[in-house]
Structure 1
Amino acid sequence: MVKIVTGKINSCKSTKLKKYYDDSLKGDGFIAEKHMQGNFVHYYDLIHLSTGQRIPYIVRNDFYDGKEEIIYQKGPYLFYKSAFDTVEKMVDEFICKNISPIYLDEISLLELEDKGFHKVLKKCLASNMNLCLVVREDLIDKVLNKYQIRKFEFIGD
């Protein structure tokens, strides 16, 4: 089963996914945590739910120091390759150990272009693991169609 937290940009989707995890303490995965500098997004970390480990994930190009390898760019946002490598390795372990549900924040424009968490999501779906995903409301139909997700439900407030 795929459970989805949805909403508009900046509507606390990650917070809702984290609360859903905290209420059940089942499964494992990642949520994205945004850090602001004034009115601008400075960077995002991925937070590993069961350990609280922070993984540098995205940085706004104005703040990029050139030290980490970048795998994608979307607008002013640069995505660290190491974050995707870490998530893929850990999700492989979750699948191997049958840790379910697997939480991914978020499935968005990169995945629709076969980038980002695309490969990881395909593995999770092929394994028939239960999933909890964040998907922006304007991308729901595209994501459901692309990944042929037929059985899903929305996680409420």
Structure 2
Amino acid sequence: MSKAPQPQVSLASNQLAASKAEGKREGHAAGRAEGFTAGKTEGLREGAGLERTRIAAILSCPEAKGRADLANHLAFKSDIAPSDVATMLAASPVEDLRASSPFFAAMNAIANPQVGADGYVVNQNDEQRASAMAASIVEAHRRLNSAPGG
């Protein structure tokens, strides 16, 4: 009896086993990569949602009112918890927007009369009001007559 054919079968069996093992490794690697990608995508989605919630909590907290610059900075440039940010904001001074406004500064640079509900200056007596009204009528008449085509 000859035993030569058995090693050929054994060789084919070994190749088949090696091929199956390689297929399993490739399948495992592909599955792992696909799972990693899906997990990463889901993690990014969940993380973005949590970050949006954090930012909204900071910007809408009562302590952020009057402290918008600081609230925005802490919301977008840090990873501090909203409760800690609220504590920090509460301990911070409220911004005086009027002090930093060029419009407010310009308006404060000129004298502004106190005007009442009827349109007249509050601190004028009847004679002063009548005089101011007459001057206003005369000025309006002059403007109309000096306008081109008038």
Provide TM-score, normalisation by structure 1: 0.19
Q: Taking CA–CA contacts closer than 8 Å with sequence separation of 6 or more, which of the two structures ends up with the larger relative contact order?
A: 1
* Larger radius of gyration between Structure 1 and Structure 2: 2
Provide TM-score, normalisation by structure 2: 0.20
